[in-house]
Amino acid sequence: MQLRYSFRVYPSAGQRTALARAFGCARVVYNDALRARETARSEGLPFPKTGDLSKTLITEAKQTSERAWLGEVSAVVLQQS
């Protein structure tokens, strides 16, 4: 027999803001990774490795002024995206 539970979450205003920030940052990193892989494919290069993408799109991007806001969310969210 399998059981199934259904939950509904009602985040507070601060939690909604934090979730929106995390999801937005994850989407930006995902789009950057997708663009990097599409560029490599169109140029006939091998796909960049996950570690290389993480280094360039997350670690190095946090050091720039344009993407410094990526440091405001958990690195786990960014790495999983």
Residue 37 lies in a domain: yes
Residue 39 lies in a domain: yes
Phi, psi values for residue 33, rounded to 5°: -65, -40
Residue 3 lies in a domain: no
pTM for the full predicted model: 0.82
Q: What is the pLDDT along the chain (81 residues), one digit of tens a residue?
A: 788 999 999 999 999 999 999 999 999 999 999 999 999 999 999 989 989 999 999 999 999 999 999 999 998 999 998
Residue type, 23: F
DSSP 48: P
Which range of residues forms the domain containing residue 71? Answer: 13-80
What is the domain count for the chain? Answer: 1
Task: Tell me how far apart the alpha carbons of residues 14 and 63 are, in angstroms, rounded to a whole number.
Answer: 26
